[in-house]
Every structure is written in C-alpha cells, then in structure tokens.
C-alpha cells in the first residue's frame, strides 16, 4: 500500500518517482571522508578498500564495508560519513582563517570536515543533547581538532552572546530524516506529517538564531537530510521573508538537482540530493547577509602560564601552543585565544593536555591524538598486530626511553603509554579499547576471503 510519505514523494518527483522507489531496496550507501592534513590519498588508497570518489567532496569516497576498526579510523585519518552528508560543508566553502559556527553539530561529521579546512581560524560547535555532545567531543578528539570550543545547550543564548561574530555558520538542522529511511527500518512506518511540521517550526527558530551570529557579508548554509518541502524550501522562504538582508547565492555545486519551485525563494539556488544522485538524501541552501555589523569574538585574557606547566609539556611535545589554560587542575592548549562565553555550558575548549595531580602533570589521551608524529618527544611505531594488542589494553615490549610515548601506526599517532625502558605500559582509556573478539584490521573478514 502506498503510504502518505510515498504519495508526497510521487507528487514531487514525478517522472523520477519509480527510480526513487527502486533505490529504497538497494543497500545503504557508505562513505568515508579523509583528512588531507593527516594522510595522503595515495597512502589511504594503498591501505584501505576505497571505492570511487563521491561527487560531493574531493575527500569523500564510497566504501562497501564496515571500517570502524580500521587503524586509520582509530587514528583519526578518516571519518565514516554517508557520501551526500559532505555536500553542505563543501558548499559552505570554509577558508583557512574563517571563524565558523556549527550550530547542530553532533555526531561530528560536518564539524570535523569544517575543522579540516581551518588553519588560523576557529570553530565553535554546539549540540543541544548532552549525550550527543559527548559523542561529538570524542570525535573531535579522535580527529585531532585543536582550535575549537564545544558548547551544549539551546542555540538562542549562544547566538545572542556571540552576535555578529562569524564568517560562516552551518545549520545542519534536526529534521524528520526522510533521507535516512534505509538506515532506520522503522522510519517510514513512524513517519507523520505532524512530525514534519514540528521539525519545520524548530528549524525556523534555529535559523533566526543563526542569523544573529552571522557578521556582515557572512555566509549561512542550511542543510537537512530530509525531502519534505515544509522543512526545506518553505523554511528558506519564511526565513528570507523575515530577514530581507539575507539573499540566496549560487551554491556552485556540480551535484544533485534543483529544488522544488516555491514562492518566496529561488529553487534554482538550492541543491537536492536523492539516492538516484549517489547519496542517501540531502538538501542544501547557501545564503549571504548583506547588511549588519562585524564584531570580533570575545576572548579571555589568560594569566601568564607558570614555567612548571610548560616544562612538563616539553617532556611530551616539542611545540608548545601559545595559549595554555589551567582550570580545576586540568591543562588545555590551543593556538587560538580561549573564547569568553559565560551564558552557555562550555564542554571543552582546545585540547585537554593533562591533569595536575599533586606535584606532577599526568598527560591526557587527547594530547596524543592532536599533533603529527614529529611533534612528540617519544614515539613508538607499532605493527598492526601490536596495535591490536594495545587497543585491547595490553602492554608491549620496547626499549624506548623512559617516559610517556605516543603510539603510532604508519606514522599516525592514536594514543599513548608509559615506558619504563623495557616495556610500554598501556594508557589507552578503557572506554576506547576494543571489546574481546573485535580486532584492528585494514579489511573486514568478508573482504579478505
């Protein structure tokens, strides 16, 4: 029986409807996006089963197997991301020195994609749900993101406090998720028009907050993983009507198709992606704020860092960041000044480098994921078999000098241990270790056969 959802899709897609229905019976498209700061494409191709490049992002490739236990995934060299999900950040066109806000950031695919484009810039990312915010933090750490602030809570207070500050804002809005129906079997059965309408109301509220945060000439990208025009074109039309100083601009995407004609917005200046286009489903609209003000991010004035902290850090890393902040005996480091934002819950700023315990600084796992191999004082290159042992909590024999040692696989740091000169005792956090029966591998068993 044809559901209301399918009837609506038939009305919107017309001649393409049968192809859409056929696509629902095909396997879910999988993808990965690699970080060129950490690994070259040539090295990745030599060590991971990549398919063809996706049309949505130069760093995105199709894959046909689960790669969560691939050593390069553990080391943060790539992020497993549905192919079309990379389209929004590609259209956002982040520049190296941009100040960027990602308002609905968990679990972190688009957030870490933004971070991979930044050099001297800064990223503020927010997640409303506390549990999802911690997942986001874990992915930020795994991918080695350094210059960021992670907040948790409603977007309104955050955008009010940081008004007119951002060059780029991404709103990957919570939605009814029609593009994810193959991923979640019950989604089509639980679909309802009332849920679509409730999502649209929430999306309009988030966009209005995002508008406040955007500086003059700043770029706002709105995206969803749903098909309904109520959550896409109609949301954009309502937003443009309410904010006449916002204009649509050409997304310059060589993928997907135009939007659905809707009064109050230009359907030619949005991108819709369906499974027939090589992705599970996405909508992207790019807008520019042509009036308004420009303001610098409010930042903290830090006390001069004590020499003891610097000397402790120099035991583990060669390069000491300019910004070192100590709070509740925990040491945080990054290149960008720390954000001053008192009205929101701040989960993390920068890299957690370590914790002062009495008169010694105990390093944190995140520190040994944040830098390239050459930045660490002591390193130990591991084989695939040794990495598997380490990820199950075992020590390894080694005559590396005494001290804290960065574990590396093919030159990629992924954690650390403490050497006594004869062996390296494991410091991988228990929550990140692999379960018994699960192993580090470059290809799954099915592929190996």
Q: What tens digit of pLDDT does each residue of 193-241 get?
A: 999 999 999 999 999 999 999 999 999 999 999 999 999 999 999 999 9
Percentage of residues in the chain with pLDDT exceeding 70? Answer: 96
Please give the class, per CATH, of domain 4-29+82-289.
Answer: alpha beta
Two tokens at 234? 């109609």
Question: Cα–chain-centroid distance for residue 181?
Answer: 22
Across 35-64, b (16+ Cβ under 10 Å) vs e yields beebbeeebbeebbebeeebbbbebbbebe
Contact (Cβ atoms closer than 8 angstroms) between residue 338 and residue 325: yes
pLDDT at 319: 84
User: What is the C-alpha separation between 73 and 254, in angstroms, rounded?
Assistant: 28
pLDDT at 254: 87
User: What is the C-alpha separation between 157 and 161, in angstroms, rounded?
Assistant: 6
Contact (Cβ atoms closer than 8 angstroms) between residue 100 and residue 124: yes
- Asked if CATH classification 3.20.20.100 holds for the domain at 307-432, the reply, yes or no, is no
Find which of 221-230, 316-325, 436-445 is predicted with most confidence, using mean pLDDT. Answer: 221-230
**Residues linked to residue 412 through DSSP beta bridges, in sequence order:** 409
Sign of CA dihedral 117, 284, 168, 199: negative
Contact (Cβ atoms closer than 8 angstroms) between residue 170 and residue 90: no
| Other residues' Cβ atoms within 10 Å of the Cβ of residue 320 | 14
| Other residues' Cβ atoms within 10 Å of the Cβ of residue 309 | 18
Identify the CA nearest to 39 among candidates 428, 439, 408, 391. 408
Contact (Cβ atoms closer than 8 angstroms) between residue 86 and residue 60: yes
Catalytic one among 225, 285, 341, 408? 225
| Domain definitions of the chain by residue range | 4-29+82-289, 307-432
Question: For the chain, first and last CA: distance in Å?
Answer: 41
**Higher-pLDDT residue of 343, 385:** 385
Two tokens at 40? 């070259």
| Per-residue pLDDT tens over the stretch 70-114 | 999 999 999 999 999 999 999 999 999 999 999 999 999 999 999
Residue owning tokens 């389209």:
87
Question: Cα–chain-centroid distance for residue 402?
Answer: 36
| Per-residue pLDDT tens over the stretch 121-160 | 999 999 999 999 999 999 999 999 999 999 999 999 999 9
Identify the CA nearest to 173 among candidates 253, 88, 276, 57. 88
Angle (deg, nearest 10), helices 233-242 and 193-213 = 40
The number of CA neighbours under 13 Å toward the Cβ of 439 is: 10
Mean pLDDT to the nearest integer, 346-368: 96
For residue 225, indicate whether it is catalytic: yes
pLDDT at 186: 56
User: What is the C-alpha separation between 326 and 306, in angstroms, rounded?
Assistant: 10
Taking 60 as the threshold, does the pLDDT of residue 448 lie above it?
Answer: no
| Per-residue pLDDT tens over the stretch 249-304 | 999 878 999 999 999 999 999 999 999 999 999 999 999 999 999 999 999 998 88
- C-alpha distance from residue 74 to each of 32, 41, 375 (Å): 13, 17, 19
Two tokens at 229? 């025009």
User: What is the C-alpha separation between 386 and 400, in angstroms, rounded?
Assistant: 15
Mean pLDDT to the nearest integer, 375-398: 97
Identify the CA nearest to 382 among candidates 358, 346, 415, 422. 415
Peptide bond into 107 cis (omega under 30): yes
What are the DSSP calls for 252-313, one per residue?
A: --SSSB-----TTS-GGGEEEE-GGGTSS-EEEEEEEE-SS---PPPB--PPPPPHHHHHHH
């Amino acid at each position: 029986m044809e559901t209301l959802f399918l009837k609506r899709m038939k009305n919107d897609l017309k001649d393409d409807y049968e192809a859409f229905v056929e696509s629902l019976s095909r396997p879910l498209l999988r993808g990965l996006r690699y970080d060129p700061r950490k690994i070259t494409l040539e090295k990745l191709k030599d060590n991971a089963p990549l398919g063809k490049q996706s049309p949505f992002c130069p760093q995105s490739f199709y894959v046909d197997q689960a790669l969560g236990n691939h050593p390069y995934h553990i080391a943060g060299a790539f992020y497993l991301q549905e192919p079309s999900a990379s389209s929004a950040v590609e259209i956002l066109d982040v520049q190296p020195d941009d100040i960027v806000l990602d308002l609905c950031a968990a679990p972190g695919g688009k957030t870490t994609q933004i971070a991979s484009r930044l050099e001297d810039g800064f990223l503020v990312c927010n997640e409303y749900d506390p549990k999802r915010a911690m997942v986001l933090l874990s992915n930020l750490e795994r991918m080695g993101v350094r210059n960021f602030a992670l907040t948790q809570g409603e977007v309104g207070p955050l955008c009010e406090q940081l008004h007119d500050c951002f060059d780029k804002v991404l709103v990957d809005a919570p939605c009814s998720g029609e593009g994810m129906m193959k991923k979640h079997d019950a989604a089509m059965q639980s679909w309802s028009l009332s849920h679509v309408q409730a999502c649209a109301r929430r999306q309009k509220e988030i966009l209005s907050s995002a508008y406040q945060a955007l500086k003059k000439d700043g770029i706002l990208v709105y995206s969803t993983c749903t098909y309904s025009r109520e959550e896409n074109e109609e949301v954009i039309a309502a937003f443009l009507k309410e904010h006449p100083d916002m204009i649509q601009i050409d997304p310059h995407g060589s993928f997907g198709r135009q939007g659905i004609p809707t009064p109050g917005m230009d359907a030619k200046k949005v991108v819709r992606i369906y499974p027939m286009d090589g992705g599970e489903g996405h909508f992207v609209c790019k807008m520019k704020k042509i009036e308004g003000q420009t303001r610098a991010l409010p930042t903290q004035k830090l006390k001069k860092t004590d020499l003891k902290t610097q000397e402790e850090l120099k035991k583990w890393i060669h390069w000491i960041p300019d910004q070192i902040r100590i709070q509740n005996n925990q040491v945080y480091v990054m290149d960008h000044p720390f954000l001053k934002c008192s009205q929101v819950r701040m989960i993390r700023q920068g890299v957690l480098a370590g914790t002062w315990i009495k008169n010694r600084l105990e390093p944190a796992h995140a520190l040994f994921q944040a830098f390239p191999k050459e930045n660490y004082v002591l390193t130990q290159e591991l084989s695939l078999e040794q990495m598997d042992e380490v990820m199950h909590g075992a020590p390894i024999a080694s005559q590396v000098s005494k001290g804290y040692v960065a574990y590396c696989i093919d030159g990629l740091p992924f954690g650390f241990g403490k050497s006594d000169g004869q062996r390296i005792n494991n410091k991988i956090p228990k929550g990140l270790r692999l379960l018994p029966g699960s192993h580090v591998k470059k290809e799954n068993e099915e592929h190996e056969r």
